[in-house]
Amino acid sequence: MSELKGWREIPIAGVTWKSSMETKTGDWKTFKPVIDQNKCIKCLICWISCPDMAIQWNGEKVVENYDYCKGCGICANVCPVKAIKMVKEE
Amino acid sequence: MSVRQRVMGLNGDEAVAWAVKQCDVDFVSAYPITPQTIIVEKFSEFVANGEVETEFVPVESEHSALSACIGAAALGARAFTATAANGLALMWEIVYIASSLRLPIVMAVVNRALSGPINIHCDHSDSMGCRDASWIQIYTENAQEAYDTVIQAFRIGEHPDVQLPVMVTLDGFLISHTLQNVKILPDEVVKDFVGVRKPVEVEIPGRGRIPLILDPENPLTFGPLDLYDYYFEHKVQQHEAIEKARPVIKQINEEYYKISGRKYGDGFVETYGLEDAETAIIVLGSTAGTVRYVAKELRRKGYKVGMLRLRTFRPFPYRELVEALRHVKAVGVMDRSGAYGAYGGPVYIETKAAFYDEDEKPKILNYIYGLGGRDTPPTMIRKVYEELLEVSRTGKIEKKMKFLGVR
Ligand code: SF4
Ligand code: SF4
């Protein structure tokens, strides 16, 4: 409890004061997307469809960002060549 | 001192629309509902005629109207909406969100009985229902005050210490649809008085002070999940903010007096005849006019009666109330909303609680009146005073809560 701030120390209006870069929110998925780069045709449909920006384009290929991926499976579902498989998390 | 003002024949709703027109409001979104409709109808006329530069967004429901205002206000805009009764009920979820996001939206609530049974006439069940939503609530007595209070409301809500939404209420039909001579200030005077909304700044660790608005240059997340570790702290901040509204309401009432020549008591309560009164009535809204009329008449006949009009209900002016009434022997509290299973109506409960710690205090009775627009003529108020005078003589209360004018 001690590191939590008091009501005078935090901004009003319930706005966040920490960047989401610091708070990883991807720890509750059950299945994670795994991209088969050999099948991928780089259409970027998964990239634009991911509600969490957890598919990223690194200039050469699409990559999964498991720090923020929620495991919803939308990317796998929209991929026209079925290059994404949802794999059970360990 | 005050400037020359134009006298216009306006009903309460039109008076509100005029105030909004002059307050340089950036954004209005609303959904029509009787008896509020005239406000947005009139305002959309101003928009259509190019008399204002306001972004006017007609929506499909009140839930969306207030949501749209939240979006606009979070961008830094000055936003206004208006509603009544079931419209306010449909907004419910968003009413609390607006205050928790600390957005100084101004909303006119034209008091109307909540369904059911379905009814379109005045009582205070709608706004009293959200008395604990962390909105400032000001109840007006007539069209003039509705106009004046909307102008004040922007200043109060946008004050850096406050940053809360403000609800300005006017009694359905009794004020909203009743034509009155309303003094309208010159446009520039109002514009100067309200100024331009300046967003407050918040301190973000590692980023310094940044404006509390949605701004791509200084991104902020509004409305994220806030669980047991911080929700409570944010709610305490809201408590603090509405407490800080007390001096602001007083100050704005005074400042407004300087430009208009009009003020409403100390901003919180307005009294008549209390100095030597043995009995008094506490009332809010348009009925205050009837009560004042009867009190004057009775005083002419030698009865020591007085009255207190509660103007600001949130924050509740408990100190002012106690100071004004501690010497009185019997007080009747008029509540225009039901109190099913409660100790009494909301104004009654607050009044009694305010007096609990006092040694000197009056007997306090509760009168529920005017539900669903039931008429409250002077004869009814006379009966209340007669009963209060009897209580002040005998010190005996037969029944704490009574329903006025019920067959
Ligand atoms: S599973 Fe959902 S959240 Fe994760 S990368 Fe795919 S679309 Fe994004
Ligand atoms: S949708 Fe499929 S093919 Fe298209 S970029 Fe994503 S993984 Fe590759």
Whether B205 contacts chain A with CB within 8 A: yes
pLDDT digits (tens, 9 = 90+) for B254-303: 999 999 999 999 999 999 999 999 999 999 999 999 999 999 999 999 99
List, in sequence order, every beta strand (DSSP E) within B265-349.
269-272, 279-283, 305-310, 312-314, 330-335
Instruction: Quote the pLDDT of residue B68.
Output: 98
The pLDDT, as a whole number, for residue B345 is 98
> Which residues of chain B lie closer than 8 angstroms to A20, CB-CB?
221
* Domain span(s) for CATH 3.40.50.970 in chain B: 6-199+241-260
- Please give the CATH superfamily to which domain B6-199+241-260 belongs: Thiamin diphosphate (ThDP)-binding fold, Pyr/PP domains (3.40.50.970)
Q: Could you give all domains of chain A from N- to C-terminal order, each with its CATH number?
A: 39-90 (3.30.70.20)
What is the Cα–Cα distance from B199 to B73, expressed in whole angstroms? 9
A81 pocket-lining for ligand 2 (C-beta < 6 Å): yes
pLDDT in tens, B188-203: 999 999 999 999 999 9
B83/B69 Cα distance (integer angstroms)? 13
Q: What is the band of A21 on the pLDDT scale with cuts at 50, 70, 90?
A: confident
Interface A:B, Cβ pairs < 8 A: 56
Instruction: Looking at the CA of residue A75, tell me the nearest atom of ligand 2.
Output: 1
Task: Reply yes or no on whether the pLDDT at A17 is more than 90.
Answer: no
Mind listing the pLDDT tens digit for each residue in B239-250? 999 999 999 999
Task: Give the gap in angstroms from C-alpha B92 to the nearest C-alpha of chain A.
Answer: 18
ipTM over 0.95: no
Return the closest-CA partner of residue B114 out of B393, B337, B384. B337
For B87, the token pair is: 């419209």
**Number of neighbouring beta carbons within 10 Å of residue B150:** 30
pLDDT of residue B1: 57
pLDDT greater than 70 at residue A2:
no
Mean pLDDT of chain B: 97
Which residue, among B122, B94, B98, has the nearest Cα to B109 in the 3D structure? B122
pTM greater than 0.90 (yes/no): yes
- Is it the case that residue A35 has pLDDT exceeding 80? yes
The backbone region for B265, taken as left when phi is positive above 0, alpha when psi lies in -120 to 50, beta otherwise, is: left
Look at ligand 2, atom 6, and give the residue with the nearest C-alpha.
A46
For CATH 3.40.50.920, the residue range(s) in chain B are 269-404
Burial B321-352 (b: 16+ CB within 10 A, else e): bbebbeebbbbbbbbbbbbeeeebbbbbbbbb
Q: How far from chain centre, in Å, is Cα B40?
A: 19
Do the chains contact at B226 and A17, CB–CB below 8 Å? no
| Amino acid B3: pLDDT | 86
Say if CB B311 and CB B253 are below 8 A apart: no
User: Rounded to the nearest whole angstrom, what is the distance from the C-alpha of residue A68 to the centroid of ligand 1?
Assistant: 8
In CATH terms, the fold of domain B269-404 is: Rossmann fold (3.40.50)
pLDDT at res. A1: 46
Average pLDDT score over residue span A33-56: 97
Of the pLDDT bands very low, low, confident and very high (cuts 50, 70, 90), residue A70 is: very high
A83: Cβ below 6 Å to ligand 2?
yes
Tens digits of per-residue pLDDT, B49-69? 999 999 999 999 999 999 999
> Between chains, do B229 and A4 touch, taking CB under 8 Å as contact?
yes
Average pLDDT over residues B96-112: 98
**What pLDDT score was predicted for residue A18?**
84
pLDDT digits (tens, 9 = 90+) for B66-80: 999 999 999 999 999
CB distance A15–B203 less than 8 Å?
Answer: no
CB within 8 Å of chain B, chain A residues 19-58: 20
